[in-house]
């Protein structure tokens, strides 16, 4: 068999093995992602706990983001903003003042674009919802009448003067309906999958690179051996030593 054909077969075998290993790495990475999503979903299904048990007066937050919480307080009259997302969904965000004076932003639900949001319920309230961290900033254009493009707490702090909690709550669909609003979709924080699977993904990709490198070295050494044979010229890959 000509040397160039042998070299080509060796390199093709390396490419094939590298492709398989790359696919295995992608599969392991998907397992890692799926485990993280399952973890986030499981957190959101836990029994509600008291929010103030996990958020200290100095703002230190325990392991509570993405979990259901209970909180008591009263909505501040007139402190309500409309959050127009990039998807056109309008969330109604109201200020719930707690017993310690801090304000918890509460997404009570959604309304159709251009519709009236209505006022928040009056009196002392006990609310249950998913506690979420501040959202990233939004750069889409806001129509007249809308205050924010996302629930970004630094921006909200410029509208509400009271000290804010380090997160916000989104009420359940059932509670939103009781308040005359449509449900708001919750974007859960990313959960943590098994780092073992992410490590396996990296290992497979390292093996893929190693396999490609080895196949090239073997093909190259085949050419050097052929070039060094008696009566043969130099040059990798020349089956006739020319």
The string of DSSP letters for 151-187 reads --HHHHTTT--SPBPSSEEEE-HHHHHHTT-B-----
Q: Quick one: pLDDT at residue 137?
A: 83
pLDDT for position 158:
92
Question: How confident is residue 181, by pLDDT bands cut at 50, 70 and 90?
Answer: very high
The contacts of residue 211 (CB under 8 Å, 6+ apart) are 14, 17, 18, 21
Look at 182 and 198; give whichever has higher pLDDT.
Answer: 182
Rounded CA separation 147/160 (Å): 12
Residue 203, CA distances (Å) to 33, 40, 117, 210 in order: 17, 26, 53, 10
Q: Please, which pLDDT band fits residue 29 given cuts at 50, 70 and 90?
A: low
Q: What is the pLDDT of residues 89-101, one digit of tens each?
A: 999 999 999 989 9
Q: Does residue 107 surpass a pLDDT of 80?
A: yes
**What's the token pair of residue 9?**
């077969």
What stretches of 70-194 show up as alpha helix (H) in DSSP? 153-156, 173-178
Look-up of token digits 């916000």: 168
| pLDDT tens digits, one per residue of 109-148 | 999 988 888 899 999 999 999 999 999 887 788 888 888 9
For residue 233, is pLDDT > 60? no
pLDDT beyond 80 at 60: yes
In this predicted structure, the answer to whether residue 204 has a pLDDT above a threshold of 90 is no
- What is the distance, to the nearest Å, from the Cα of residue 127 to the centroid of all Cα atoms in its chain? 26
State if pTM tops 0.75. Answer: no
Q: Give the pLDDT of residue 82.
A: 94
For the chain, how far is it from start to end, CA to CA, in angstroms?
A: 16
The more confidently predicted of residues 197 and 206 is: 206
Mean pLDDT along residues 64-68: 89
């Amino acid at each position: 068999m000509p040397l160039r054909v042998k070299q080509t077969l060796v390199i093709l075998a390396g490419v094939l093995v590298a492709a398989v290993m790359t696919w295995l790495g992608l599969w392991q990475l998907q397992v890692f992602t799926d485990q993280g999503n399952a973890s986030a979903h499981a957190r959101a299904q836990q029994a509600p706990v008291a929010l103030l048990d996990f958020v200290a007066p100095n703002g230190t937050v325990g392991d509570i983001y993405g979990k259901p919480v209970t909180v008591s307080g009263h909505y501040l009259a007139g402190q309500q903003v409309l959050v127009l997302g990039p998807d056109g969904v309008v969330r109604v965000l109201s200020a719930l003042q707690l017993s310690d004076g801090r304000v918890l932003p509460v997404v009570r639900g959604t309304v159709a674009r251009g519709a009236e949001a209505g006022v928040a319920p009056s009196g002392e309230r006990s609310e249950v919802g998913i506690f979420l961290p501040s959202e990233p900033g939004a750069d889409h254009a806001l129509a007249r009448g809308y205050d924010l493009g996302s629930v970004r707490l630094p921006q909200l702090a410029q509208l509400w003067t009271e000290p804010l909690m380090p997160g916000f709550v989104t009420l359940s669909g059932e509670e939103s309906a009781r308040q005359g609003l449509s449900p708001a979709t919750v974007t859960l924080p990313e959960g943590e999958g098994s780092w073992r699977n992410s490590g396996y993904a990296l290992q497979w990709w390292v093996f893929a690179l190693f396999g490609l490198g080895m196949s090239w070295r073997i093909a190259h050494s085949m050419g050097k051996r052929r070039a060094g044979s008696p009566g043969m010229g130099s040059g990798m890959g020349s089956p006739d030593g020319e």
